Chains A and B, each alone.
Chain A
Amino acid sequence: MNLVDLMLKIDRRIIYLVLAVVVILPLIIPSVQHVRVMPPVEKLYNAVDTIPVDKVLMIDFDYDPQTQPELEPMALAILRHAFKKRIKVLALSLYVQPLGLAKAALDQVVGEFNAEAKSRADSIIYGRDYIFLGWQPPPLVPILGMGESITNVYKKDYYGNQTDTLPLMKRVKNYNQVGLLICISSGDPPLWWVGYAQNRFGLKVGVGCTAVSASDYYPYLQTGQFSGLMVGMKGAAEYEELVETRLAIYKHRKASTALPSLTYAHLVMMIFIIIGNIGYFIKRRKK
């Protein structure tokens, strides 16, 4: 087998091995990679930052274990931002799968803040500062229903409390008291929020999505239907950058730590594609 054939027929196991090495090594020796913040993420950050005092931030956790590495850092960064600015949070999921991950993210960030709190006023208290509404099937029912009444749709929260007895829900009736909804999702839910909640009730929608679904959402960002967009690991790292530089929150930056792995993996893929193409052109010229 000559060199050209080798270039065209690299054993897939070699590709797997090289990719595994470049992904695993930066994770074993972690380093935070700083990124340049792009306009879509800046827009989302500003949308959260300018939520009026009398309104709440609603977060739709719609990521599952498969997309957790890409989307969970977004959720953590947004929660840190909201709690730092004392913005009240309503959390929910449109699917049953993300519930456990949503709970874990909420518990982690609430724990971080409460570990540093000096008084009850400083603390993040369930029912006063945030509520986890949980899950109500099928997805379109809560989206449309909350336009009329949130407590009618979610009569009980995730933990079984009557929602209308929780202090925060005394002043939150429906979307009129929601300043922004952020949907962190790997599927279609952002489009449902626009199609049903925004078109009918005027709800502002921000989105965090996986890198592969980004191209589907740019049209909505351009028209202003999305108040901002975070795309994949890079988008999450950009939000982490803003949270650190503007709010001085120095916590573990999951996405920024994963970026070196992402960088080297992309480079390896590009190198293999280039090798394959060089081999292809040499062979075509010989013919």
Chain B
Amino acid sequence: MTRTLPLILVFIFGILGIIPFVVPHPVVQNSDEFLRNDLLRILAAFALVLGLGSLLRVHFDKIQHRRENWEYSWVLLITFFVTSIIGLFGGVSGTGPLPTKIGNFPFDIQTIYLHVEVPLGATMFALLSFFMASAAYRSFRARSAEATLLLISAFVVMLGILPLGNQISPHLPSFAQWIMDVPNVAGKRGIAFGIALGSLATALKILLGIERSWLGGGE
């Protein structure tokens, strides 16, 4: 029953998700609206609680058993609880019942976000360019005709998107645009069709209960 019930639910709700796209009858549309607006949100709320619970359990476990880098779990847990309390009781911009200002020093959620999370996130992503430059230098070699073609195309597109490309030749940005519009689209469209057909086949297999790996555990 623990495996049959989820399979039945997936089949029923999968079909209910498809029908409104082809049946315009108000009864179908209204029930679809209820499913999407109410039921899905309730499920999402449960998923959020489940996800947070899982996250906390993992990090408490890490601290308890002194696993690798367990010290960082304290950072996560402390910041999680502090920002949660500020966010829940302090409001978005310090408008809630909890005071989020000491003198001229605000620490409401918006301030924390803009002055802590934004710089940290931007820094992490900015580091990528250094790794990309180093990796490109090491691995981008014209070893074959295909690799040479790729290299030339990459250079044309890179130069074409820069203002410098237009200064070299006004045709360069147009050529770069053509590469993106024609060969790139041809390749991407082929890949997209493949993915779409694969997704459709997988979705049908899940709906019909042929594919059961998502249930977890053995057969």
Partners in one complex: yes
* Chain A interface (Cβ < 8 Å from any Cβ of B): 10, 12, 15-16, 19-20, 23, 33-36, 38-39, 64-69, 100-101, 103-104, 136-138, 140-141, 144-145, 148, 152-153, 158-159, 200, 211, 214-216, 218-219, 222, 231-232, 234, 259, 262-263, 265-270, 272-273, 275-277, 280-281
Give the docked Cα–Cα distance between A219 and B193 (Å): 11
Closest to A265 in B: B129
Q: Is A272 in contact with B133, judged by CB distance below 8 angstroms?
A: yes
In the assembled complex, B65 has its CB within 8 A of some CB on chain A: no
Known contacts A66-B121, A216-B188; A277 and B142 CB within 8 A of each other: yes
| Contact A100-B130, Cβ < 8 Å, known A66-B121, A218-B188 | no
What are 15 residue pairs bridging A and B, where the CB atoms are less than 8 Å apart in the complex?
Answer: A16-B130, A38-B173, A64-B121, A104-B114, A137-B48, A140-B40, A141-B44, A145-B33, A145-B37, A159-B92, A215-B180, A265-B129, A272-B133, A273-B137, A276-B140
Evaluate contact between B151 and A273: CB separation under 8 angstroms. Answer: yes
Partner of B122, one of A65, A137, A144, A231: A65
Closest-CB distance, A235 to chain B (whole angstroms):
9
Q: A35-B163, A35-B166, A259-B163 are in contact. Are A219 and B158 (CB under 8 A)?
A: no
Total residues of chain B contacting the partner, CB 8 A = 54
A38 partner residues in chain B, CB cutoff 8 A: 173, 177
Q: Does any Cβ of A come within 8 Å of B138's Cβ?
A: yes
Number of A-B residue pairs at CB separation under 8 A: 140
Chain A nearest CB from B132 CB (Å) reads 8
In the bound complex, what is the Cα–Cα distance between A67 and B125 (angstroms)? 8
The list of the 8 closest CB pairs from A to B, nearest first, reads A65-B121, A66-B125, A100-B113, A272-B137, A65-B118, A138-B44, A12-B134, A137-B44
Any A CB within 8 A of the CB of B83? no
**Least CB distance, B89 to chain A, in whole angstroms:** 14
In the complex formed, the residue of B with least CB distance to A19 is B133
Q: A138-B41, A272-B133 are in contact. List 7 more A-B contacts (CB 8 A).
A: A39-B177, A65-B120, A100-B109, A141-B37, A145-B37, A158-B92, A266-B158
**Chain A CB within 10 A, most for which of B137, B141, B184:** B137
**Closest A-chain residue to B180, C-beta based?**
A218
Q: Complex: how many Å from CA A234 to CA B162?
A: 7
Question: For residue A68, which residues in chain B have a CB less than 8 angstroms away from its CB?
Answer: 118, 121-122
Q: Does B214 contact A (CB under 8 A)?
A: no
Enumerate chain B residues within 8 angstroms of A67, measured Cβ to Cβ: 125
Bound together, the chains give a CA A97 to CA B114 distance in angstroms of 11
B26 to A: closest C-beta gap in Å = 11
Q: Given that A145-B36, A269-B133, A269-B136 are contacting pairs, would A214 and B180 also be in contact in the complex, using a CB cutoff of 8 Å?
A: yes
- From A152, A218, A259, A280, residue with most partner B Cβ within 10 Å: A218
Cα–Cα, bound, A38→B33 (Å): 41
Tell me if A262 and B188 are in contact (CB < 8 A).
no
Closest to A11 in B: B134
Q: Is the CB of B141 within 8 A of A276?
A: yes
Residues on the B chain within 8 Å of A273, using CB: 136-137, 140, 151
Given contacts A36-B173, A137-B41, contact A69 B110 (CB under 8 A): no
Q: Which residues of B contact A (CB under 8 A)?
A: 21, 33, 36-37, 40-41, 44-45, 47-48, 92, 109-110, 113-114, 117-122, 124-125, 129-130, 132-134, 136-138, 140-143, 151, 155, 158-159, 161-164, 166, 170, 173, 177, 180-181, 184-185, 188-189, 192
Q: Is A270 within 8 A of B155, CB to CB?
A: yes
Cα of A231 to Cα of B179 in the assembled complex, Å: 15
A17, closest chain B residue (CB): B130
- Cα-based distance from A218 to B185 in the complex (angstroms): 6
Chain B residue contacts of A101, Cβ below 8 A: 118
A100 and B110 CA atoms in complex are apart in Å by 6
**How far, in Å, is B70 (CB) from chain A's closest CB?**
27
Say which residue of A136, A145, A214, A272 sits within 8 Å of B136 (CB atoms): A272
In chain B, what residue has the closest Cβ to A69? Answer: B122
Interface centre among B130, B142, B162 (most CB of A within 10 A): B162
